[in-house]
Amino acid sequence: MLVEKHGGEVPRTMEELTGLSGVGRKTANVVLGNAFGVNVGVVVDTHVARLARRLGLSRQTAPDKIETDLEALAPRKNWTQLSHWLIWHGRRRCFARSPECPACEIKADCPAGQKVLNPKLTPEQQRKMRMRV
């Protein structure tokens, strides 16, 4: 398809990329942001989705809705980097099954981390922690 439709060149728009077989928003965002420096959206993989919920940045579960929530929180120029930061944190510290909350660099701002570190928080205190983020 790249050769036939695009003369062998990788397209530089979301519409053209997602028009290729097997390319969705996540892949298109990765290509545009990393290869071409074009911030069209935030890459939402499993790490980003998990951290968006844990950090209280989104209550959504659908990647496109999480993407919209995250885009509202950061300037467009930082969208690609935001994805990298969340992915890195999800791979190195905030694991799916056993997050390292006691050693976490952002535990003071993380509602999920506060629940782990302060299990005696009342539901009202936990709600206030979520509101801080």
Q: What is the pLDDT of residues 6-31, one digit of tens each?
A: 999 999 999 999 999 999 999 999 99
pLDDT at 51: 96
pLDDT band at 133 (very low <50, low <70, confident <90, very high): very low
Active-site residues: which are they? 26, 45
Is the pTM here over 0.85, yes or no? no
- Amino acid identity at 63: P
Average pLDDT over residues 110-117: 80
Which residues, 6 or more positions from 66, have their beta carbon under 8 angstroms from its beta carbon?
A: 44, 48, 49, 52, 58, 60
CA dihedral 92, 94, 95, 97 (to 10 degrees): 160
Percent of the chain with pLDDT over 90: 77
Q: Rounded CA gap, 124 and 95, in Å?
A: 27
Q: Is residue 131 pLDDT above 60, yes or no?
A: no
The model's pLDDT over 72-87, given as tens digits with 9 standing for 90+, comes to 999 999 999 999 999 9
Q: Rounded CA gap, 56 and 132, in Å?
A: 9
Average pLDDT over residues 35-60: 96
Domain boundaries along the sequence of the chain:
2-99
Q: Rounded CA gap, 19 and 86, in Å?
A: 27
Q: Rounded CA gap, 100 and 51, in Å?
A: 13
> Quick one: CATH architecture of 2-99?
Orthogonal Bundle (1.10)
pLDDT at 115: 75
